[in-house]
A and B are shown apart, each in its own frame.
Chain A
Amino acid sequence: MRLTFAALSCGYGRTPVLTDLSFTLRRGLWLITGPNGSGKSTLMRCAVGLLPPIAGRLLWDGADAYRLAERYRWHLGYAPQETGGSPDMPVRAYLHYLAALKGILPARRAARVNEVITIASLTEVADRPVPDLSGGLQQRMGLAQALLNDPDLLLLDEPAVSLDPEERVRFRQLLLDLSADRIVLTATNLPDELDGMASGIIRLSSGRAILTEA
């Protein structure tokens, strides 16, 4: 598994927010950091397949991700910063529904939903309606849905923002686990919490990205 930004520029309309990104990410934990407005979310949206490059290419194992389209997205899990409207459904039922949307075969759905509930430590609240969950639990819910297809590439936008101190410690361990056998790319405003674990840090500033590998 290999995600390559090949001389990639991305942004909205014809104005690039980020110009000429060139680096390759392999298995491990990668952080994106930079001032607000520097393009963290833009970079995430481009990597997720929601924002086609203005120039250059995004490559998954050497093939153009935007041409692979569905076949790229199958490798991908994404937890955005805000999950948007949460339906009035219990956690487990909602994850079932999302698993169906993601195309997970009916025979595997129940087992996989149970697995992600365990991984994201949602067992105790699995039967509670999603809107009743606290901010920290909603965030774990976002992570659980991103893991449904056991993705090779996991994209997380500010995943720890509502977590309390103990949850943050557990979350760090979970990231260490998850990044052992996949690419985890995380946008964060608190890079010092994670930099010891990271394979590299992508710093954004003035439209450019600089990758420092550990």
Chain B
Amino acid sequence: MDIALTSVTKRFSGGVTALDRVSFTVTPGMFGLLGPNGAGKTTLMRILSTLLEPDQGSVAFGEIDLREDPQAVRRLIGYLPQELGFYRQLTGPEYLDLVAGMKGLSAREARPETARLLEQVNLAHQRKKRIGEYSGGMRRRLGIAQALLGDPQVIIVDEPTAGLDPEERLRFRNLLADLSAQRTILLSTHIVADVETTCERLAVLNRGHLLYAGPTEQLLEQADGQVWQLDLDAREFERVRHTLQIVSARRSGPDVSLRVIAGENPFGGAVRTEPTLEDGYLCLMQSAGAAIASAQEVGA
């Protein structure tokens, strides 16, 4: 199912424009959402989850208009927020029964589904444990289970891997990838590598504006020909480091190996290298920052 956003705008009291005429389409499969803190990502996800109303613009889930029939949209979506308030005294199955009730499922409908979901997120063997005794990873998985109740066509996930260890993170990523075969999953995260490995398409927000929406591959191209590999000795590195935009660096003995973003070959001695999504993202943000700066100069 496609989710089409058209000129979505949201202002908060105090004059903060969290989203400014944002238009793009979230396509089926895994769709990434990137942007700095304060870009408007969470506001966007809360609008899609019917928790906030946009001031202007429209959102359509397939044929359904969000404003005309929010109840129909609620039946379509599952939302996993960054922080989920849990009842610490409940067990996993009890919590899922409660959420099923809130989603309007009858107990008879819910029973087999909660059992299946607990199996799917690998919590079936912990059914007697209270949520208060869960690890961070178990809470995350229970969060996904509640988002999946009612078999939603759309799943919205905010920063899912914070607090997960590397193995849990991989398992979680694979679970989302499995689910995305027949659904639309919107994944918001700060871990660019997670978007690179799982999402075919993505959107980038900055200060409430859409900077990019399209194939992941194409964002990499933003950095084409601008990423360089370069080895410097420690003294030279200290001298020039603040003149370079360094993506990563490693010390190896007396030398420092750098990955640098630059329009031209820095010092002539660097070797051009393939960009990653992180490089593409940085180049995009950089050109956006330059655009904002020059607009401010014009304004001043």
Contacts and interface: CB of A to CB of B under 8 A. Distances in A.
Nearest to A169: B247
Contacts of B190: 162-165, 168
A191 B166 CA distance: 8
A112 B192 CA distance: 34
A36 B165 contact: yes
Interface string B208-248: 00000000000000000000000000000000000000111
Given A136-B37, A161-B162, A166-B36, A192 B193 contact: yes
A176 B248 CA distance: 9
Interface of A: 28, 33-38, 134-137, 161-169, 172-173, 176, 180, 189-193, 196-197
Contact of B246 (A163, A165, A167, A173): A173
Contacts, number: 75
Is chain B's interface secondary structure helix, strand, loop, or mixed overall? Answer: mixed
A189 B285 contact: no
Interface residues of B, number: 30
A107 B191 CA distance: 42
Interface of B: 34-38, 135-137, 162-169, 190-193, 246-251, 278, 281-282, 285
Nearest to B34: A165
A189 B194 CA distance: 14
Contacts of B192: 165
A193 B190 CA distance: 12
A161 B36 contact: no
A121 B222 CA distance: 27
Residue in B37, B168, B191, B249 whose Cβ sees the most chain A Cβ within 10 Å: B37
Complex A-B, nearest 6 residue pairs according to Cβ-Cβ distance, in ascending order: A196-B250, A164-B36, A36-B165, A35-B165, A164-B37, A136-B37
A169 B278 contact: yes
Given A134-B38, A136-B37, A190 B281 contact: no
A36 B168 CA distance: 9
Contacts of B36: 164-167
A167 B39 CA distance: 13
